């Protein structure tokens, strides 16, 4: 049996929408399909403005510009995350302040944020790992208390919620990913969600190379010009057309993934302790972006990945902590983020995609069982 780690989602409705782009004859950004995608995201999250972008990375870079990050401003974030959560702020010459994560959800540890705040702190960036919400009650109140900008890296969190409120709707801004590894995708793609009404106009300028082209297209000015520091962050209409039917059907897609997630949990919990399986706090509704398990050690994970790969199963590890990245040339060598280091050495991700079959999940779980029963 061959079971890849991911199969990019295709619903077979994408080509019809792309054909429509040919009929409309507008291929660049902010056309009919971009607007339709933005409307769906606004409806889903209740944000003031959704702006589809060519990646989540783009959306994160927009948040750093919108937050007006200046050299030396401190930005608190987890180190257990994707490179661009941090590089978006490093590009603005911020000082990144790494916060450890919780052992249960692998999200930023809200109890460790306050001690990292100084007079230079400008923003907090949280990552909803695996589409499971961070403790937003605590984090929102810390940010309010200290007057900090809150940004959600919601790359993995489409349709997930915390206390009944959609992820992406808590921060001043949030960034979503539609990369092919995400629940719904368009190859490369993303969206910026703006929740602070006061940031909407600047966000539209920044998206459009820093120009006021949006005013020009609405007939408000007779020529457009450079008004902000921005870049070309637009999603092309071809991508938006691909994305649109997937966004329309995301709930169905997630239901299928949740079924697979529950099956994994059911089979694996028969012989693996609960602490080693994903934890979903009561008030969180997740989207089955990922199923992972925790191994005892780096060596155990290496052996289990080897065994699964040998049997055609695409099991893989996840983030190398960013504070340990070669980019920093040892700058954070002595920083001790105990949970981050331990999780990054022992977390193992299993195949997860729309259409994963029950007999495939059974096969994967049986191989894992053989591994543990065979004494590793």
Ligand X SMILES: Cc1ncc(COP(=O)(O)O)c(C=O)c1O
Chain residues that interact with ligand X, rule: CB under 6 A: 55-57, 81-82, 84-85, 127, 153, 155-156, 177, 179, 190
DSSP string, 248-269: HTHHHHHHHHHHHHHHHHHHHT
b/e code 308-322 from CB counts within 10 Å (16+ = b): beebebbbebbbebb
Indicate the residue among 49 and 289 with the shorter CB distance to ligand X: 289
- Smallest gap from Cβ 212 to ligand X, in A, equals 26
Half-sphere exposure of residue 158, counting CA atoms within 13 Å on the CB side? 29
- Smallest gap from Cβ 66 to ligand X, in A, equals 17
Q: Which of 130, 168, 154 is nearest to 289 (CA)?
A: 130
Bridge partners, 95 (sequence order)? 74
- Smallest gap from Cβ 173 to ligand X, in A, equals 14
Nearest-angstrom CA–CA distance, 149 and 162: 19
Pick left, alpha or beta for residue 333 (phi over 0 → left; psi -120 to 50 → alpha; otherwise beta): alpha
Is residue 226 classed as helix, strand or coil in its secondary structure? strand
- Smallest gap from Cβ 190 to ligand X, in A, equals 5
Indicate the residue among 261 and 371 with the shorter CB distance to ligand X: 261
Indicate the residue among 100 and 153 with the shorter CB distance to ligand X: 153
Indicate the residue among 6 and 95 with the shorter CB distance to ligand X: 6
Indicate the residue among 85 and 236 with the shorter CB distance to ligand X: 85
- Smallest gap from Cβ 151 to ligand X, in A, equals 11
Indicate the residue among 185 and 211 with the shorter CB distance to ligand X: 185
- Smallest gap from Cβ 284 to ligand X, in A, equals 17
- Smallest gap from Cβ 179 to ligand X, in A, equals 4
Nearest-angstrom CA–CA distance, 255 and 22: 32
Nearest-angstrom CA–CA distance, 220 and 212: 10
Q: Phi first, then psi: give them for residue 159, nearest 5 degrees.
A: 70, 5
Bridge partners, 162 (sequence order)? 165, 284
Indicate the residue among 267 and 353 with the shorter CB distance to ligand X: 353
């Amino acid at each position: 049996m061959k079971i890849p780690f991911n199969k990019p989602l295709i619903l077979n409705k994408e080509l019809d929408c792309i054909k429509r782009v040919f009929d409309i004859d507008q291929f660049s950004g902010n056309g009919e399909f971009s607007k339709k995608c933005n409307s769906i995201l606004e409806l889903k999250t209740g944000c003031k403005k959704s702006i589809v972008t060519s990646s989540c990375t783009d959306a994160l870079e927009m948040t750093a510009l919108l937050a007006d990050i200046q050299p030396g401003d401190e930005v608190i974030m987890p180190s257990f995350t994707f490179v661009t959560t941090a590089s978006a702020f490093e590009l603005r010459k911020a000082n990144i302040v790494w916060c450890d994560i919780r052992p249960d959800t692998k999200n930023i540890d809200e109890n460790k944020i306050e001690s990292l705040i100084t007079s230079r702190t400008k923003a907090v960036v949280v990552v909803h790992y695996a589409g499971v919400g961070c403790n937003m009650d605590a984090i929102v109140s810390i940010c309010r208390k200290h007057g900090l900008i809150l940004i959600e890296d919601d790359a993995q969190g489409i349709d997930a919620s915390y206390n009944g409120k959609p992820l992406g709707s808590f921060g001043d801004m949030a960034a979503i990913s539609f990369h092919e590894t995400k629940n719904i995708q368009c190859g490369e793609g993303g969206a910026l969600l703006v929740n602070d009404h006061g940031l909407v106009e600047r966000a539209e300028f920044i998206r459009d190379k820093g120009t006021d082209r949006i005013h020009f297209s609405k007939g408000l000015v007779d020529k457009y010009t450079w008004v902000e520091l921005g870049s070309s962050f637009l999603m092309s209409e071809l991508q938006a057309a691909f994305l649109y039917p997937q966004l329309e059907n995301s709930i169905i897609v997630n239901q299928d993934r949740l079924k697979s997630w529950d099956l994994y949990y059911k089979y694996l919990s028969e012989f693996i302790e609960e602490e080693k399986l994903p934890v979903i706090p009561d008030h969180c509704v997740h989207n089955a972006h990922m199923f992972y398990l925790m191994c005892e050690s780096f060596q155990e994970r290496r052996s289990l990945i080897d065994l699964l790969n040998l049997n055609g199963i695409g099991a893989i590890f996840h983030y190398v902590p960013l504070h340990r990245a070669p980019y920093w040339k040892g700058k954070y060598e002595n920083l001790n983020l105990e949970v981050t280091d331990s999780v990054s050495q022992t977390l193992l991700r299993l195949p997860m995609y729309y259409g994963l079959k029950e007999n495939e999940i059974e096969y994967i779980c049986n191989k894992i069982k053989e591994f543990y029963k065979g004494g590793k």
